[in-house]
Amino acid sequence: MWKALALLAFVLLSGTQWTGAQKEATAGERPPDISLKLTAAANTTKVGSAVTIQIVETNITDHPVPLGPLTKGMIRVTDSEGNPVKKAPPVVIEHPAENGKPAWEERFLDMGSSRTIDLAPRESMEANFELNLIFDLSKPGKYTAQAVAFDPKTVKVVKVSESESIVTGTTVTSNAISLTITPAE
């Protein structure tokens, strides 16, 4: 259960901008502890339809790997010009009237756990989700999506002032997938 919530947190925090120093692994460094794979249910979808993608996070070591709040990742989505795609507006849920006034809530896509879980050697976690609920894919065009997360063995928090810290570490990047959004007709 916690493993599913941890990966769900990865997915649902996708619109979050990391405020941290990121670097790709270079020659001479140990390979990362995890791998990321991104796939799309369909690479072509109409505007307004679900854009379902799956992310698989795999422990590629022979030892358990802790995954927690600092190793949550994000999804990068860019348009055909390479520009970042904006976040979609929050989902609004209407509830029956309370005290004569309609009740509603904004549900941001952040349902993750703050617990740390151990992903067993060679074990994978996967989750499907709708990218169009996180990013504004309301315009026809070509988009590219890619998952990015901090490698659990290198992630750390660096305090830069009394009230501010940054997350730093080596990043692990998934394969890039191409998505085409066509007019709704």
Show me where the domains of the chain are located. 2-182
Look up the CATH architecture of domain 2-182: Sandwich (2.60)
pTM higher than 0.75: no
From CA 28, how far away is CA 66, in angstroms rounded?
A: 23
Q: What is the pLDDT of residue 139?
A: 95
Which helix (H) or strand (E) element contains residue 4? helix 2-12
User: How far apart are alpha carbons 114 and 143 in whole angstroms?
Assistant: 31
Q: What is the mean pLDDT of each run of 10 residues along the chain (185 residues)?
A: 42 35 54 92 94 92 84 84 89 61 48 70 89 93 93 86 85 94 91
Confidence at residue 21, expressed as pLDDT on a 0 to 100 scale: 38
SS (H, E, C) 53-110: EEEEEEECCCCCEEECHHHCCEEEEEECCCCECCECCCEEEEEEEECCEEEEEEECCC
